[in-house]
Structure 1
């Protein structure tokens, strides 16, 4: 006697997978893209993050900041400059961590978060160290004030020799007019003012070794972009706002497309199940 068994019913389709998988794939794609971009940026970028200090009284009676001939970064004027920085090999004996360059960060907002980035090409291997100092800290530290005085003297000599041209440490030989950085200059008759400002020290150390004795003896100046980037609400760098907006836009569009695709796949699965049931009933 043959045993009879009930016919197997078709297996219900798994409708959860079409709903979840497209969204997971999109999220993973965005995360991987962000990770790759972050790794690429870190290869040629060094930065420091700080808060704008309290305002101080800036006298206009010499000697003042105007006599230092420093390039100035300011949210109200220049947020970025393209220049060349002198570099040297670090010296463990003297404790040197690289050639020092000084800039003035002016017209800051007290308590606001800022970021200064140095960007350079991978074809010039260099290790940069960035430190932002409050004015009293520089005045009260012999090593810092000595470094600042040495750099300021070299800038004054270069400007005088070049007729205020583009010496090393100044903008490139043919900068765009709107890219030329503002410099501190003596300005007779100026009134005293209160401002939030910092002194930025950039140490550039050559980070390579070669059999070429010329390159080992004479380190070439490094072409860099120095960028002052204010934070929005002390959370997000201002320069990243367009990127974040673009990513959110793409994510929103992808979410709606994923929802429509998931609904379409679910409808196909339900229709297929109904067709199988109809054929079985016939």
Structure 2
């Protein structure tokens, strides 16, 4: 009996340690008109997330232990495109709990990055590393991208390993972390679209429970209203 009672708790705890989540929430800015000079956004060869066509990116993120430079590990850059101006979004990164890592997520307007030397230098270093490794851009296809100005943001992810091992090689070269990066728009700027099915399920359960409770209540009233049987006399 005790095993049966503890089983749901065990399953719940196993599920909660299956993965970690970090996120940032933002409002999509207005369309940014960029100068028609290099480098163009497509020339940066960044992985792209777009709500309609590629909201999820499965990737491996290189990590590094915190140091004086950089204090938050390694930085990687991504492009968020096809956003609706004024709409609330959130970007989540999910990774296995078996790979202890600290993540920091920040979004920046396109023009802000180009006008900030520190951010621009970090972006240039990352894109150069990708080109040297011959990495191809993944995400939304070019034929899905409008040619005119659109609402877009840069996403910077900082990843720092947060474990300790007696293995010196592992401490000097921490393995890349398997991660899913998810771009999730909000419905009516209230809750994420991915929670829509959950909200519908809760609504259906609540309505069904309301009708069921009313039926049970009426049954109890009818039982209570029945006259008690007369005592049997010999």
Of the three residues 4, 23, 32, the one matched with 1:56 is 32
Which whole-Å deviations, capped at 9, do the CAs of 1:121-170 have from their partners, x for residues lacking one? Answer: 111111111000112221232221111111110111111xx6x4xxxxx7
Which residue does the alignment assign to 1:17? none
Displacement of 1:207? 1.4
The superposition leaves residues 66-122 of structure 1 with CA deviations (integer Å, 9 ceiling, x where unpaired) of 22110111123211111111111112x235212111001112111111111101111
State how far apart, in whole Å, the 1-side matches of 2:139 and 2:147 are: 23
Q: Which consecutive segments of 4 or more residues in structure 1 shift more than 3 A? A: 39-43, 58-61
Instruction: Kindly indicate whether residue 222 of structure 2 is the aligned counterpart of residue 267 of structure 1.
Output: yes
What's 1:193 paired with?
148
Q: Within 5 Å, which residues of 2 pair with 1:166-205?
A: 180-182=138-140, 193-205=148-160
Equivalent-residue separation in structure 2 for 1:66 and 1:131 (angstroms):
21
- CA–CA distance in structure 1, aligned partners of residues 146 and 53 of structure 2: 19
Number of residue pairs aligned between Structure 1 and Structure 2: 221
The answer for the alignment partner of 1:121 in structure 2 is 96
Q: Taking structure 1 as reference, are residues 97 and 195 closer, same or farther at Cα in structure 2, changes over 3 Å only?
A: same
Select the residue among 45, 62, 66 that pairs with 1:90.
66
Larger radius of gyration: 1
Selected match of 1:68 from 34, 44, 63: 44
Q: Residue 150 of structure 2: SS of its match in structure 1?
A: strand
Structure 2 unpaired stretches of 5+: 1-8
Q: Please state how far the C-alpha of 1:266 moved relative to its aligned partner.
A: 2.9
CA 48–42 in structure 1, closer or farther in 2 if over 3 Å, else same:
farther
* Equivalent-residue separation in structure 1 for 2:96 and 2:17 (angstroms): 11
Q: Does 2:185 align with 1:230?
A: yes
Q: State yes or no: 1:208 paired with 2:163.
A: yes
- Asked if residue 244 in structure 1 is aligned to residue 199 in structure 2, the reply is yes
- Normalising by structure 1, we get a TM-score of 0.70
